[in-house]
Amino acid sequence: MKKWFALLLAVVLACSALAGCGSKETSGDDGDGPIKIAYSGPMTGDNAEYGLLFQNAVELAVKQANDAGGVLGREVEVVEFDDKNSSEEAGSIAEKIVGDEDIVAVFGHFASGVAMTAAQIYQEAGVVLLSASASHVDYSSIGDYIFRNNVTQDVEAYNCLQIAVGSGVKKLGMLKLKTDWGESAENSFMAALEEIEGKSDIELVAVEEFVDGTTDFSSNITKFEEAGCDGIVVFGMYGSLGPFAKQFRQFNTETLLISVGSSYTPELIDLAGDAAEGIMFPGGMNPDSTDPKVKEFVDAYTEYSGGKEPENMSAQTYENVQMVLQAIENVGSADREAIKDELYNMTFEGVTGTISFNEIGDAVKTQVWYVVKDGQFVESEDHKLVLWDDFVASL
């Protein structure tokens, strides 16, 4: 009986050891096979322009890493998925990704709501998700495996208000996308307005909303004109800002238009034409920068994409891949948990500046004040964005 029990125990221990080894290997920690990462974004549909920009950034970062000899002497392999900017599709894709234990990190998911749906699945499975565009304030609170290399929605809303106040706007209008993202942007903006109440004479006099895909903004424009707005902040993507600006400028060429960094893309100028002139944004990387690191990236990206110049979110996507690969190099392991832990410890010098992550996975970084001038995005010569607390203290 004792011999039988000893034999059974030995079999159980052997199976446990094999299971443990299998788990470690499939997490990417052992072996000399490729290090697998995943990209998921809208490569078809209304937001395909963004998805393809991000896809190019991921592929370029992987190509450069492999051309330099790989990571830990291993090739980097990227697996790509089209989530169509759909929460349902993204959830299904996330299940596929976490089911492949060789995939050690995920990049992408464009809209905040889509990213947040998928993030819950990655968090439960212990897979790092790094976004370049999820700005909803609750995104990173999903868990410790969830990171973003873009400023939060509240910071961006604060900076839009900083631009309005700094530009002398008195009667401000708001045009917001009718989604959870648009609602959150409005809430962040209203909180910022409350903070400067009594310190500034700016006043929010009109709030209008629109649904994604709207092409006729005439009713919104009428309301803004009736309210006498001398500034309008638009919480929406370039695909909506472009036609709105074009229609608005037919009636009003004086009112300042302000929008968020996701509208900072050459496609806006292609869509809006002359109506884009004078639009202001808080943003990150300046593709016309003379910084050698930025210029090298812009040139490489433009060549790789067949002539498409990168914008800030594709630059952040590029950095996201580089940061994960650097984390793997730093710890000498492609283990999922080790990658996550190292991201919290790192300070990374990227093309959008110096990046570190705070305790909830949000990037700590500043933004630049941009304006469209002569068909180009240029840094404002007259204004600089500062940290919000410093701005409030200066009023």
Within 255-387, residue ranges assigned H as helices are 266-272, 292-304, 312-331, 336-345
Residue 23: per-residue pLDDT: 36
Instruction: Dump pLDDT digits (tens) for 278-316.
Output: 999 998 888 888 889 999 999 999 999 999 989 889 999
Asked whether the domain spanning 154-286+368-394 has the same topology as the one spanning 35-152+289-364, the reply is: yes
Domain ranges for the chain:
35-152+289-364, 154-286+368-394
Q: Which CATH code fits 35-152+289-364?
A: 3.40.50.2300
Q: Residue 213: left if φ>0, alpha if ψ -120 to 50, beta else—which one? A: left
202 with 165: CB under 8 angstroms?
Answer: yes
Structure tokens at 47: 């937001």
Q: Between the CA of residue 130 and those of 77, 96, 254, what are the distances in Å?
A: 17, 17, 40
Residue 30: per-residue pLDDT: 53
The distance of Cα 313 from the centroid of its chain, to the nearest Å, equals: 6
Residue 365: per-residue pLDDT: 83
Whole-angstrom distance, CA of residue 143 vs CA of residue 120: 8
Residue 29: per-residue pLDDT: 55
Say if strands 347-350 and 280-283 run parallel, antiparallel, or are unpaired: unpaired
Is the dihedral angle over the CA atoms 204, 209, 214, 216 positive or is it negative? negative
Instruction: Dump pLDDT digits (tens) for 211-220.
Output: 999 999 999 9
237 with 263: CB under 8 angstroms?
Answer: yes
Residue 74: per-residue pLDDT: 97
3-state secondary structure at position 264: coil
Q: Which fold has domain 154-286+368-394?
A: Rossmann fold (3.40.50)
Residue 13: per-residue pLDDT: 34
| Tokens 């050698």 -> residue | 292
Residue 284: per-residue pLDDT: 85
Which is nearest to 81 in space by CA: 72, 90, 68? 90
The distance of Cα 75 from the centroid of its chain, to the nearest Å, equals: 26
Residues of the chain with pLDDT under 70: 1-31
178 with 215: CB under 8 angstroms?
Answer: no
Residue 27: per-residue pLDDT: 57
